[in-house]
Amino acid sequence: MAPAFDRELEERLLRYCAIDSQSDEGSAATPSTGVQNDMLDLLVRELAAMGAHEVRRTDYGAVLATIPATVAGPAPVMGLLAHVDTAPAFAAKGVRPRVHRRYAGGAIAFPDAPDLRLSPAESAYLGERIGDDIVTASGTTLLGADDKAGVAIVMTVARHLLANPALPHGRLRLAFTTDEEIGRGVHARLPADLGAEFAYTLDGGQRGEIECETFSADRATVAIEGVSVHPGVARGKLVNALHLAARIVATLPQATMTPEVTEGREGFIHLYAMEGTAARAELRFILRDFELDGLAARGALLAQVTAAVAATEPRARITCTVSPQYRNMRYWLERDMRPVELARAACRAEGITPLSPPVRGGTDGSRLTELGVPTPNIFTGMQEVHGPREWISVQDMAAATAVCLRLVALAARSEGGGAG
């Protein structure tokens, strides 16, 4: 079934990735950037044109739609979700997607960055995709397959089901969210508006991944107010906020607790933004751990380091604020694994071995699951996301599409639905 979708998925991915829809953590707007509306407006038009029902945009920046049931008997309402924004971690304006047809192995070059290379040495999974059609950007931007690939897959599933009403399935709810990359993808009203008993995000990586365990996540901000004085007369008066910020960073255990030295189930403290002047500086961190006690310990360590540096300079004002983002979906899914097992069964039915590694990140499904809609994550094929080497296999996307179509058919036949 999968090869029939290759060209549609490729066309959608290239078209969607070329649209700038990067989110912005510093914006209080909804969505955080106006460019995300370009993707939302396009999806509304495309959904309406293909005959989807109940197509609407919410005031909190999501597009919702319905694929009506084709079975007469009771069937659970299932949801499929993807997010339209791309990560603010790297340039995303002027994306120029490129298709490397029937990848033969070796290094892939980037025309806009002559020194950049992508090969199995940097991305081991690429070595497993010999013969596939590989999509990258041109070297100076991310690609945006995270999560334009998920959007393309959900839209292709919707188009196929609407064009083939003889296929048996229950009522399917679609949602396209904004601002997922900055932790604001799931509004408090989304679970009720979605109206699904269980759902799946299309936001995963390697073929076969059915993810049911994510990090638990907090965000932390350290604000430093120094004493501003003209440097020519600063002796004994100036308190340089940037120097204090540097001391905080240097005091944290960088050799054991940063993303670049951790893996598997190890958590981390990640400094992802630092800005300011001698008068005032701000450090922004994300804290990650698979267990709540480990997450709390990382927050406590950051607060302890901040307090220790503050104690050395009483003229400065230093605050550390920790706020929650999302929690490990495992805490809820392990109570009822039926949505996970259904997705694994769909993989096996398509000849794909299901994999469930712990996700060193989170999805909209993490928050949705916490809010009462069990939402595991399904693979798309995306790799090396949030940077210039980002790539994806069109054939992986086709495999994910086939799994989703199998999944909606299995859900319609599942006794008692997919979740309790």
Adjacent-strand bridge partners of 379:
204
Active site residue ranges = 85, 180
**Cα–Cα distance for residue pair 338/370, rounded to 1 Å:** 16
Nearest alpha-carbon partner for 37 in 152, 178, 141:
178
Interhelix angle 36-50/145-163, nearest 10 degrees = 10
**Cα–Cα distance for residue pair 69/40, rounded to 1 Å:** 24
CB hemisphere CA count around 402 (13 angstroms): 20
Adjacent-strand bridge partners of 359:
214
Q: What are phi and psi of 390, to 5 degrees?
A: -55, 135
Rg (Cα) of the chain, in Å, rounded? 23
Q: 198-204 and 377-379 as β-strands: parallel, antiparallel, unpaired?
A: parallel
**Cα–Cα distance for residue pair 272/395, rounded to 1 Å:** 33
356: tokens are 């469930």
183: tokens are 């932790």
Residue type, position 243, single letter: H
Sign of torsion over alpha carbons 327, 328, 334, 338? positive
Q: What is the DSSP letter of 265?
A: T
SS3 at position 222: strand
Give whole-number Cα distances, 64 to 81, 243, 245, 283, in Å: 9, 48, 44, 36
Q: Beta-carbon neighbour count of residue 254 at 10 Å? A: 13
CA 348 to chain centre: 25
CB hemisphere CA count around 368 (13 angstroms): 31
Beta strands, E only, 205-301:
210-211, 216-225, 268-276, 280-289
**Cα–Cα distance for residue pair 245/236, rounded to 1 Å:** 19
Adjacent-strand bridge partners of 317:
225
**Cα–Cα distance for residue pair 347/358, rounded to 1 Å:** 18
